[in-house]
Chain A
Amino acid sequence: MKRHLISAADLTRDDAVLILDTAEEMARVADRPIKKLPTLRGRTVCNLFFEDSTRTRISFEAAEKRLSADVINFAAKGSSVSKGESLKDTAQTLEAMGVDAVVIRHSASGAPYRLATSGWIDAPVINAGDGTHQHPTQALLDAFTMRRRLIGPDAGLGQDLGGRRITIVGDVLHSRVARSNVDLLHTLGAEVTLVAPPTLVPVGVETWPCEVSYDLDSVLPKSDAVMMLRVQRERMNAAFFPTEREYSRRYGLDGDRMARMPEHALVMHPGPMVRGMEITAEVADSGRCTAVEQVANGVSIRMAVLYLLLGGNEPAVSSPRTDRTEEK
């Protein structure tokens, strides 16, 4: 596995399956009376959040603490794009404090990549979402959720998602979740179909390893999982679609549409959900919807990623950093 986790495209099939399998181990920790492993004792992880995020930040923090890491939370008001302390300054400050890993969320696509490759810092970098680019741990927790539900926690070990048909619906253009999922699901052998109004599909999508459809109803019966993306109401003002009502009518998931899906098919949502827009309350609160499960699985996946990137089986007192070799 590479030293950093910047993009879902960085993962091979074996890398991804190893993370999913490790996450199954980590999930068992959550069932213990004391939900903690000593693995990262003495390691310092910094959560560097340049963009508002509640669930992702809490999820990473929970994962870090369950592995006994020391956690530093850095929440920048606004972003470094508005002049002030730059990403570089912040990175160098963290480097000086001796952090062992940086989890970064940033509104600028490519910021984690720059952090990992610019020489500003020497710690592994985990991308917790950058602009409209990538959100790899979200794709991993989605794949983890699908494997558990469609194959089973134990039966799924060592397995990928070969032959499964996954449909991703909504604002693909602005979605880092969609990009990461297309990359990872393809790597895991699944067949992905994107469904959105043409205004919310990026120019250049034809090179992605997936199908594109503008017609949700025709795709639903052939889906093992339907992933609904959040659609921000503001997009309407930029003329991406005429009205909220029209969007919901054409691309929203309601009870009638859910009934067209196969019995076993899942409804997924990365959250936060805009009920009444892309998903009705009825669907969101049904037993088929895995939104809450996905949150729980997120902690297991992030524990697995931190464990694997920080070589959790090494002694807590690490060897000097200069011994690390760059894999680039």
Chain B
Amino acid sequence: MSKILIRGAKVLGGEPQDVLITDETITAVGTDLTVSSAEGAQVIEADGKILLPGLVDLHTHLREPGREDSETVLTGTRAAASGGYTAVFAMANTFPVADTAGVVEQVYRLGQEHGYCDVQPIGAVTVGLEGKKLAELGAMHESAAGVTVFSDDGKCVDDAVIMRRALEYVKAFGGVVAQHAQEPRLTEGAQMNEGVVSAELGLGGWPAVAEESIIARDVLLAEHVGSRVHICHLSTAGSVEIVRWAKSRGIDVTAEVTPHHLLLTDELVRTYNPVYKVNPPLRTERDVMALREALADGTIDIVATDHAPHPHEDKDCEWAAAAMGMVGLETALSVVQRTMVDTGLLTWADVADRMSFAPARIGQATGHGRPISAGEPANLTLVDSAYRGEVDPAGFASRSRNTPYEGRELPGRITHTFLRGRATVVDGKLA
């Protein structure tokens, strides 16, 4: 029997308490747990650090199978653990695409074997992400991987009939379709947000309306067929308004925002540095502020990283030739602290909701996003919120280094992560 006593941690940012972990379970939470139950326990002095439930990322690209040069399930889950995550949902745009029971089972199994963080595969909505024919959603759900979230992320399910059918079909087993909202015709040749900066730089525009029109369509479809829809990486002020309106009508919609859309704007594209090239693109200051507000008031339910690793050569080139995406797992909590907590928009308890409780609920990640109380699985992360430091990608666990925050000072640091009572990160280092 292994025992760990975390002493003096601010549970969800509240008053300091002691938390006792026995094997895989939290067995006691209280003040001054020096009772016999804690005897022989390994003690971790938390010194007022913040204790959160293990973070859950509903939107991660692990790249395995097919692009192991940018990330693997092993390197990606090590990056996740470093960032305080105990569960990640792996997007389906791999090679081959995760559109069959066989592929999702393999990804699931790799996650289990490595043991850094639970990997819950997301199944493709359509065969090969081509948007033409529904993939075997039922088979993926019934497989060992137990898929409940389906997405063609990277591509939009743009055919309204296919989207309708997918929304209807997953009702049979309580699944959810996560939409990458991007009207393809309006974004042909798109390189960055369409607006003042794109006009000046001569880069193809990705207009906000291309996102907003799909979201509007999909919330109406979800309402019509009585299903639920999840909106990936919402990025514009207009998208926020549409989701707010849909929720007010009682439509079953949830939405996510990425850390980078909470902090960075399209002004950065003036550098032509492809590290800032991402899909959906960085938007304007007005959009950033609207997204923060929406995350604070609950219109946007969760933060999801859209962790998108790319090898050096895919970013060390001219803008048009560069791949889209940014790594995010190891900086997500710091960016959320900087944009939401240090600005007074969210409490740490709210952060626990947006980054663990709610994503676990949307993705039905059993055993994750649970309260920090006796009898619950010991999936936990300890945050030193007083820490300030510059982001140094050289220290990343991820195989890729395409972070937009290199050299920036960000607050907060993960000192410990526990997956079912086993430390995956100790004193800021992978165990």
A and B: bona fide binding partners: yes
Task: Tell me the A residues contacting B by CB distance below 8 Å.
Answer: 80-81, 86-88, 106-111, 113-114, 117-118, 130-134, 176, 179, 202-208
Residues of A within 8 A of B317 (CB): 80, 86-88, 114
User: What is the minimal beta-carbon distance from A85 to any residue of chain B, in angstroms?
Assistant: 11
Pairs across A and B, CB under 8 Å, 28 listed: A81-B321, A87-B318, A88-B317, A108-B319, A109-B203, A109-B272, A110-B201, A110-B203, A110-B319, A111-B318, A113-B272, A114-B272, A114-B273, A114-B317, A131-B203, A132-B202, A133-B201, A134-B202, A176-B202, A202-B198, A202-B199, A202-B205, A203-B195, A203-B198, A203-B199, A203-B205, A204-B198, A205-B199
A110, A132, A204, A208: the one contacting B318 at CB < 8 Å is: A110
Question: When chains A and B are docked, how far (Å) is the Cα of A179 from the Cα of B198?
Answer: 12
Residues of A within 8 A of B320 (CB): 81, 107-111, 131
B196 CB–A CB distance under 8 Å = yes
B197 CB–A CB distance under 8 Å = yes
Q: Are B194 and A106 in contact (CB under 8 A)?
A: no
Q: A111-B320, A202-B198 are in contact. List 9 more A-B contacts (CB 8 A).
A: A108-B318, A109-B191, A110-B272, A110-B320, A114-B272, A114-B317, A114-B318, A202-B199, A208-B199
| Residue of chain B at shortest CB distance from A81 | B321
B316 CB–A CB distance under 8 Å = yes
| Residue of chain B at shortest CB distance from A130 | B202
B159 CB–A CB distance under 8 Å = no
Interface size on B, residues (CB 8 A): 23
User: What is the minimal beta-carbon distance from A120 to any residue of chain B, in angstroms?
Assistant: 9
Residues of B within 8 A of A208 (CB): 199-200
Task: Tell me the B residues contacting A by CB distance below 8 Å.
Answer: 191, 194-203, 205, 207, 271-273, 313, 316-321
Q: Are B196 and A207 in contact (CB under 8 A)?
A: yes
Q: Are A109 and B201 in contact (CB under 8 A)?
A: yes
Question: When chains A and B are docked, how far (Å) is the Cα of A122 from the Cα of B234?
Answer: 41
Residues of A within 8 A of B195 (CB): 203-204
| Residue of chain B at shortest CB distance from A134 | B202
A86, A106, A206: the one contacting B313 at CB < 8 Å is: A86
Given A80-B317, A80-B318, A114-B318, decide whether A207 and B199 contact each other with a Cβ distance below 8 A: yes
Task: State the 7 A-B residue pairs at the shortest beta-carbon distance, nearest first.
Answer: A204-B199, A133-B202, A110-B272, A132-B202, A108-B320, A202-B199, A204-B196
Q: Are A81 and B318 in contact (CB under 8 A)?
A: yes
| Residue of chain B at shortest CB distance from A201 | B199
Residues of A within 8 A of B207 (CB): 203
Question: When chains A and B are docked, how far (Å) is the Cα of A179 from the Cα of B197?
Answer: 13
User: What is the minimal beta-carbon distance from A74 to any residue of chain B, in angstroms?
Assistant: 16
Residues of A within 8 A of B198 (CB): 202-204
Residues of B within 8 A of A118 (CB): 316
User: What is the minimal beta-carbon distance from A118 to any residue of chain B, in angstroms?
Assistant: 8
Residues of A within 8 A of B203 (CB): 109-110, 131-133
| Residue of chain B at shortest CB distance from A202 | B199
Question: When chains A and B are docked, how far (Å) is the Cα of A202 from the Cα of B207?
Answer: 12
Q: Are A179 and B272 in contact (CB under 8 A)?
A: no
